[in-house]
Amino acid sequence: MTEERLTARCLSKKTKYILSAAAIIAVLALVWVLEQNIPPTSSWSMLFTVIKKGAIYSLVVVSMNLLNGFTGLFSLGQAGFMLIGAYAYAIFAIPVEAKDSVYQYYEPLIGFSVPEMLTNAMGGAGTVGGTLGEYLGVIILMLFAGLVTAGIAFLIGLPVLRLKSDYLAIASLGFAEIIRTIFQWDGLGSVTNGSNLLRKFPTFSSSLFPLIVSGLCIAIIVLLINSSYGRAFKAIRDDEIAAEAMGVNLFKHKQLSFVISSFFTGIGGAMLAMFQATVNATPFTSNMTYELLLIVVIGGIGSVTGSVIGSFLFIACSEWWLRFLDEGQFLGMDADFMRPGFRKVVFALIIICIVLFYSRGIMGTREFSWDGVFNFFRTLPTRLVAFFKALPGRLVAFFKALPGRIVKFFKTLPSRISGKVKKLTGKTKNSKNNHINNTDKREEAQ
C-alpha cells in the first residue's frame, strides 16, 4: 500500500518535462489566440495589460526575491536598477530621425540606433531580414541594458554589501535616489534628455514578447537557485557565520547575487520602458521599490512561484479588478464613498492584512511542482467527500454551540483585553532570538 503510494506520488522526470513543455505551449497559444480575437476596445483587453505588466513585474520581483528571499540581503535599490535598464535600452534604441524631436532641448550625443542599424544591415525596413534585424537589435540592447545595470550594481555593491541588514537597506535606497537624480541632471541632457521623456524607441505590441523574455529569464534564475551557487546563497541567508565557516566566501557570493539580480532587473527595466513606450526618471522612486517588496512578501519570501503569482495578482488587482471601487457604484447602487482613491485604500488594507496575518505569503517558501498539482487533484475527491460527509455534522455542531459562544465571547471580552498585554509580554521572549540572530558575530564570542 505504502509502496504503491510512493510510486504514485512522484512523476517521472520525463513526464514532468513533457508536461511543462505542453503547459508552456498551451499558455502561449492561448494568449496568442486571445490576442487575435479580443479587440482593444473590449473590456477584456485589460487582460493583456495585466499579462504584459505582470510578466515584467514577475521578472523584477523574482530578481528582488533572489536578493531578499534567497540571499537574505535586504536591498531596496530595485527601482534605481530598473531605471538604469530602462534608460540603457531607450537611449540606444531611438531611431536617428526621431532623435531631434525627442531631444528637444539638447544636442543628442548618441547618433545611432542599434535596432535601426541592424534593420538596415539585414535588408532594410519591411523585409524579413530587416524585421529579424530589428528584433535582434532589441534583444542585444536588452542584454546590454542588463549588463550596464549589472556593472553599476557591481560598483555600488563594493561599498554597500559590506554593510549589515538595515544599513544595507537604507544605503541601497540612497543609491537608488542618487541614480534617479543623476539621470535627471541637465548636464547629462545630451544623453539622457535631462528629466524629459525618452520615447519613440521600438516597443512590443504582443503580450507574447514579455511573457517569453520574462519566462526565459526566470527559468535561468531558477536554474541558478537550484545550482550549488544557489545553495550557497541560501546558506548565507540562513546563517552568515555558519556559511563562512563552511568555506562560502561571503562577499563574493553576495556580490554575485547582487549583480545577477541587477542584471535581470535591468532587463525588466528595459521591458518596462517598452511597455510604457516612454521613459523618464520621475516614477522610479522608493515607493516603486516598496511596491515590489510588498509583492515579494505577498508571494512569499523565498518562493519564485509565489513571486510570479504575486506579481500577476497585484497587477490585476491594482489595474483591473479593483477599478470598480473607484467608479461610485456598489451592487448597482450609487455609493458616495466609492470615489477615486477608494480602490487604493481597500488595496492597502488587503496588503496590511496579508502582511499581518499571512506573513509567509501565498506560497511561503514552497514552489510549484507537478507532483504537488497531481497530488492535489488526486486526493481532491476523497477530501471533498470527507468534507461534505462531515459538513452536516459540523454545521449542526456549529449552530448548536453558537449561542453559547457568543455569550462567552462577550463575557470574557473585558478580561481578555486586559490579559492580552500580559500575554504579549510573555511572547516577546522568543522573539529576541530572531531579533539578534544574524546580526553580529560578537554575540557568540562567549
Partner 1 sequence: MKKKVALLLALVMVFSMFAVGCGGGGDDAEYAGTVKIGVFEPASGDNGPGGKQEALGVQYANYVQPTVEIGGETYKVELVEADNESDNGKAVTAATNLVSSGVSIVLGSYGSAVSIAAGDVFKDAGMPAMGITCTNPQVTKGNDVYFRICFLDPFQGTVLANYAWDNGMRKAYCLSKLGDDYSVGLANFFMQAFKAKGGAVVYEQFPDKNSDFTGYVANAKKQGCDVFFSPVSIEAAVLIIDQAQAQKLGMPILAGDTWDSNKVAEAAKGTDVEIIVTTFYQEGGNAQFDEGIKAWMEEDSTALKNNGGNTDLAAVTAMGYDAYFVALEAIKAAGSTDPADVLAALPNVEYDGVCGKVVFGENGDAVRDVAYVKKCNNETGKWEFLAEQRVEE
Partner 2 sequence: MELLSKWLPYILAGISVGGQYALIAIGYTMVYGILRLINFAHGDMFMIAGLMAVYLATALPLYITLPLVLVLTVMLGCTIEVVAYRPLRTAPRMSIMISAIGVSYFLQNLALYATGGLAQTYPKIEWLARTVNVFGASTKMVTLVTPVLVIVLVVALVMLIKYTKIGMAMRAVSRDFETSQLMGIDINRVITVTFVIGSFLAAIGSILYFTNYTGIMPTSGGMPGLKAFVAAVFGGIGSIPGAVIGAFVIGICENLIKGANLTTFSDAFTFVLLIIILMVKPTGLFGEKNIDKV
Partner 3 sequence: MSKENVLRVSDITMQFGGVVAVDDLSLEVNKGEIIGLIGPNGAGKTTAFNVITGVYAPTNGAVALNGEVIVENHPQGKMKNLYKGKNDGKYKDVKVLTPDKITKLGVARTFQNIRLYKGMTVFENVLVAMHMNLESGIFGATFRSGKAKREEAQMREDAMNLLRMFDLEKNKDDLATSLPYGKQRHLEIARALATKPKLLLLDEPAAGMNPQESAELMRLVERIRDEFDLSVLMIEHHMQVVMGICERIYVLDYGALIAQGNPEEIQNNPRVIEAYLGVDD
Which H or E element spans position 279? strand 278-279
Q: Which of 208, 158, 166 is nearest to 52 (CA)?
A: 208
Task: Characterise 361 by phi-psi region: left (phi > 0), alpha (psi -120 to 50), beta (else).
Answer: left
Binding status of residue 94 toward partner 3 by CB under 8 A: no
Binding status of residue 235 toward partner 3 by CB under 8 A: yes
232 binds, among partner 3, partner 1, partner 2, none (CB under 5 to 8 A by kind): partner 3
List, in sequence order, every residue forming a beta bridge with 410; answer none if it has no partner: none
HEC string of 17-51?
HHHHHHHHHHHHHHHHHHHHHCCCCCHHHHHHHHH
For partner 2, the closer CB: 124 or 340: 340
Of 278-337, which residues contact partner 3 (CB under 8 A)? 302
171 binds, among partner 2, partner 1, partner 3, none (CB under 5 to 8 A by kind): partner 2
DSSP state, residue 66: I
Pairing of strands 198-199, 278-279: antiparallel
Cell triple for 102? 525627442
Choose which of 188, 365, 370, 375 interacts with partner 3 (CB under 8 A): 365
Cell triple for 403? 449561542
Choose which of 121, 355, 391, 395 interacts with partner 2 (CB under 8 A): 355
Phi and psi at residue 137, in whole multiples of 5°? -60, -45
274 binds, among partner 3, partner 2, partner 1, none (CB under 5 to 8 A by kind): none
Taking CB under 8 A as the binding criterion, the range among 30-38, 246-254, 327-335, 429-437 that sits at the site for partner 2 is 429-437
One-character DSSP codes across 316-336: HHHHTGGGGGGTTEETTEE-T
Grouping H, G, I as helix, E, B as strand and the rest as coil, residue 315 is helix
d(CA 311, CA 82): 16
Burial grade of 37 (CB within 10 A; 0-12, 13-18, 19 or more): exposed
Choose which of 2, 12, 36, 228 interacts with partner 3 (CB under 8 A): 228
Q: Min. distance of Cβ 195 from partner 1 in angstroms? A: 4
Taking CB under 8 A as the binding criterion, the range among 10-18, 181-189, 217-225, 313-321 that sits at the site for partner 3 is 217-225
Taking CB under 8 A as the binding criterion, the range among 180-188, 213-221, 223-231, 264-272 that sits at the site for partner 2 is 180-188
Count CA within 13 A, CB hemisphere, residue 334. 1
For partner 2, the closer CB: 316 or 338: 338
Cell 488526486: give the residue. 378
Q: Min. distance of Cβ 147 from partner 1 in angstroms? A: 24
20 binds, among partner 2, partner 3, partner 1, none (CB under 5 to 8 A by kind): none
Q: Min. distance of Cβ 153 from partner 2 in angstroms? A: 15
Binding status of residue 283 toward partner 2 by CB under 8 A: no
DSSP state, residue 337: T
241 binds, among partner 3, partner 1, partner 2, none (CB under 5 to 8 A by kind): partner 3
For partner 3, the closer CB: 228 or 382: 228
Name the residues that contact partner 1, by CB under 8 A: 40-46, 49, 53, 98, 101, 104-105, 181, 184, 186, 194-197, 199-200, 203, 205, 275-278, 280-283, 285, 319-327, 329-332, 340-341, 350, 353, 357-358
Q: Min. distance of Cβ 287 from partner 1 in angstroms? A: 10
For partner 1, the closer CB: 165 or 205: 205
- 196-235 burial by CB neighbour count: b if 16+ within 10 A, else e? bbbbbbbbbeebbbbbebbbebbeebbebbeeebbebbbb
128 binds, among partner 2, partner 1, partner 3, none (CB under 5 to 8 A by kind): none
Alpha-carbon dihedral angle through residues 147, 150, 152, 158, given to the nearest 10 degrees: -150
CB atoms within 10 A of CB 429: 8
d(CA 380, CA 223): 31
Of 236-255, which residues contact partner 3 (CB under 8 A)? 237-239, 241-250
Give the contact letters, 100-139, x = binds to partner 2 (CB under 8 A), - = no. ----------------------------------------
Binding status of residue 107 toward partner 3 by CB under 8 A: no
- What does the chain come to in residues? 446
For partner 3, the closer CB: 336 or 444: 444
> Residue numbers of the site for partner 2 (CB under 8 A)?
68, 74, 159-160, 163-167, 169-171, 173-175, 177-178, 180-182, 184-186, 285-287, 290-291, 293-294, 297, 301, 339-342, 344-345, 347-349, 351-352, 355-356, 359, 421, 424-425, 427-432, 434-436, 439-440, 442-443
